[in-house]
Amino acid sequence: MPELFIAGQWAAARDGRTREIRCPADGALVAVVDEAGPDDARAATAAARAAFDHGPWPHTPAADRGRLLLRVADLLERDRAALARAESLDTGKRLVESEYDLDDIAACFRYFGALVASGDGGGRIVDTGDVPADSRVVREPVGVCALITPWNYPLLQTAWKVAPALAAGNSFVLKPSELTPHTAIALMRLLAEAGLPDGVANLVLGAGPSAGAPLTEDPRVDLVSFTGGLVTGRRVMAAAAPTVKKVALELGGKNPNIVFADADFDTAVDHALTAVFLHSGQVCSAGARLLVQDELHDRFTDAVTAGAERIRLGGPFDPEARSGPLISAAHRDKVEAYVAAGLAEGAVLRCGGRRPADPALARGHYFLPTVLDECTAGMSVVREESFGPVLTVERFRTEEEAVALANDTVYGLAGAVWTQDPGRAHRVASRLRAGTVWINDFHPYVPQAEWGGMKQSGFGRELGPSGLAEYQETKHIWRNLAPRPQGWFS
Ligand code: TXE
């Protein structure tokens, strides 16, 4: 069965091109899927445009849209096992992590479903006093949305965009990462099963320049929501500029994890490991920069190093594994280059820094959990996203210095502070220039809260009520109840 989904029909790529999807854990062939080109992207855009301009979805009562999203959440829960398996085969991530992701994905659909199922469209009546008029502010869908997602959390990132876009009444073309298409394909099936009208949801698979770029340039597209790398994000923003599309960008981070000497030692060490080594560091909010107060530095770095050395690597279905492979050979090369650059610039290798020697892992794109000590703010491995299992450790003496180091980055997605002094925790949290700050925690998932970056981590919020607002236009409707000539010129 072909894998592009356009106007409610499954379609093959027009020029017949396909792509092999291979599991990053062992290189095994997962499937061969259709590879869309610009003509397919344009056909999908036309379908989404027609569904928005002429179809029922934008005018379906919010309560009905909400009910459909709740049905999708039920279907996601029904198919949880199969979807988690598909996600793990595409990404190489541990099955248990894919299962957690599936819970978050269903929760996301449930959240946005419930948000609009109440039937409250988010509008308000304006008090016009003695003026004989009705004045209403209403929320309307933006139109056709191009939703472009990456490979690290394929279906979760998709849910964060698809659920609010649909809740608000938009139609969309989804372009998932070319490396991880399977759960996006499955989601199209579930949306159709839930009763979404044809043409509202469209799917093109394929490479960014050929299947994604045409969406960002097309004048029929009203909004682009993109999650991916900073360099591509700049390109997307530029491509959207000539037609002044609404743009939402989540471009990753270089997130500081600040540990003061008074932190709860064991908990902070435990979280510092999860912060950076979860999913082999391929997480936009990864705590890849550990900033430790001088007097704690040696003991803390020793403990984190010992923890990193204990992490067992393995494929998605290895129950003993605690972390998996990187997404591709090219990505592992990039991570290796960052580590080499860090060492050349004076970082001290505490552990890892190479591929595992275990022959059982030789066919996957594995890289050992790595701790680089004595790092400084100017190093490329500190400044840029390696997006791998690489922790850099910097020292600080004072609170002032910790904040300055933490904010010394072009990114501003997330950060954490560990201290038992609540005053200090709040001072530091309020001074960090990041869209999310955790105090004595790292990585909690809260669909009701908002997610998004400051600085070059992007703009636009996902999740929470603002996530819905991203996909809405605001309109003021004024109705004069006693129209009369004004007499200015007559
Ligand atoms: O991302 P890209 P890549 C970071 C991370 C990683 C780096 C590069 O540092 O090493 O980005 O990864 C589509 N027009 N993040 O190359 O290129 C592409 O097909 C339209 C952080 O995989 O940003 C995919 O669907 N679309 C990030 C999506 O963009 C284009 C998660 C993301 O790919 C396009 C992943 C174009 N011209 C990587 N070019 C995060 N924020 O969490 C590519 N794409």
- Read off the pLDDT of residues 428-451 as tens digits, 9 standing for 90 and up: 999 999 999 999 999 998 999 999
Confidence label for 123 from pLDDT (cuts 50, 70 and 90): confident
List the beta strands (DSSP E) in 23-104: 29-34
Tell me, in angstroms, the distance from the centre of ligand 1 to residue 227's CA.
7
Q: Is the pLDDT of residue 85 over 90?
A: yes
Give tens-digit pLDDT for 362-396: 999 999 999 999 999 999 999 999 999 999 999 99
d(CA 233, CA 452): 14
Q: Which helix (H) or strand (E) holds 69?
A: helix 62-78
Q: Whose CA is nearest to atom 15 of ligand 1?
A: 229
Spatial CA neighbour of 253 closest among 288, 292, 277, 291: 288
Hey, which residues does 33 pair with through a beta bridge?
Answer: 19
Q: Side-chain half-sphere of 371: how many Cα atoms within 13 Å?
A: 23
For this structure, is 401 an active site residue? no
Which of the residues 97, 250, 394, 462 is marked catalytic? 250
Pocket of ligand 1 (CB under 6 A): 148-152, 175, 177-178, 207-209, 212-213, 216, 227-229, 232, 235-236, 250-252, 284, 331, 334, 385, 387
Atom of ligand 1 nearest to the CA of 176: 25
DSSP annotation of 10 reads E
Q: Whose CA is nearest to atom 19 of ligand 1?
A: 208
Q: Which helix (H) or strand (E) holds 100?
A: helix 95-117
Atom of ligand 1 nearest to the CA of 232: 23
Q: Is the pLDDT of residue 120 over 80?
A: no
For this structure, is 23 an active site residue? no
Q: How large is the average pLDDT for residues 193-220?
A: 98
Best residue among 227, 232, 462 to mutate for probing ligand 1's pocket (most ligand atoms within 8 Å of CB) is: 232
d(CA 456, CA 312): 34
Tell me, in angstroms, the distance from the centre of ligand 1 to residue 410's CA.
17
Helix, strand, coil share (%) of the chain residues, nearest 5: 40, 20, 35
Are 241 and 219 in contact, with CB atoms under 8 Å apart?
no
Q: Is the pLDDT of residue 133 over 80?
A: yes
Q: What percent of the chain has pLDDT over 70?
A: 100
Q: Is the pLDDT of residue 67 over 90?
A: yes
How many residues does this entry show for the chain?
490
| Residue appearing with tokens 């770029």 | 213
Tell me, in angstroms, the distance from the centre of ligand 1 to residue 229's CA.
4
Q: Output the pLDDT for position 185.
A: 98
Own/partner pairs for 138-141, CB < 8 Å, 24+ apart?
138/474, 138/475, 138/476, 138/477, 139/168, 139/469, 139/472, 139/473, 139/474, 139/475, 140/58, 140/169, 140/472, 140/473, 140/474, 140/475, 141/52, 141/58, 141/168, 141/169, 141/170, 141/471, 141/472, 141/473
Q: Output the pLDDT for position 63.
A: 95
Are 217 and 241 in contact, with CB atoms under 8 Å apart?
no
Atom of ligand 1 nearest to the CA of 157: 42
User: Hey, what are 14's tokens?
Assistant: 């027009």
Q: What is the DSSP string of 357-385?
A: --GGGTTS-----EEEES--TTSHHHHS-
Atom of ligand 1 nearest to the CA of 213: 14
Q: Output the pLDDT for position 490.
A: 84
Tell me, in angstroms, the distance from the centre of ligand 1 to residue 226's CA.
9
Confidence label for 1 from pLDDT (cuts 50, 70 and 90): confident
Q: Is the pLDDT of residue 121 over 90?
A: no
Q: Output the pLDDT for position 57.
A: 98
At residue 127, the 3 state secondary structure works out as coil
Are 18 and 33 in contact, with CB atoms under 8 Å apart?
yes
Atom of ligand 1 nearest to the CA of 334: 10
Tell me, in angstroms, the distance from the centre of ligand 1 to residue 153's CA.
12
Q: Whose CA is nearest to atom 43 of ligand 1?
A: 208
Widest Cα–Cα separation across the chain: 90
Residue 132: Cβ within 10 Å count: 11
- pTM score over 0.95: yes
Tell me, in angstroms, the distance from the centre of ligand 1 to residue 331's CA.
11
Which of the residues 284, 336, 385, 394 is marked catalytic? 284
Q: Side-chain half-sphere of 73: how many Cα atoms within 13 Å?
A: 21
Average pLDDT, the chain: 97
Q: Whose CA is nearest to atom 4 of ligand 1?
A: 229
Q: How large is the average pLDDT for residues 319-332?
A: 97
Burial class (CB in 10 A: 0-12, 13-18, 19+), 80: middle
Tell me, in angstroms, the distance from the centre of ligand 1 to residue 453's CA.
16
DSSP annotation of 462 reads B
Atom of ligand 1 nearest to the CA of 239: 14
Q: Which helix (H) or strand (E) holds 311?
A: none
Best residue among 40, 93, 148 to mutate for probing ligand 1's pocket (most ligand atoms within 8 Å of CB) is: 148
The angle subtended at Cα 101 by Cα 96 and Cα 107, nearest 5°, is 135
Q: Whose CA is nearest to atom 44 of ligand 1?
A: 208
Q: Whose CA is nearest to atom 12 of ligand 1?
A: 229
Q: How large is the average pLDDT for residues 193-215?
A: 98
d(CA 320, CA 137): 56
Q: Is the pLDDT of residue 118 over 90?
A: no
| Residue appearing with tokens 């809405």 | 472
Quick one: CA torsion of 425, 426, 427, 432, rounded to 10 degrees? 90
Q: Is the pLDDT of residue 33 over 90?
A: yes
Q: Is the pLDDT of residue 240 over 90?
A: yes
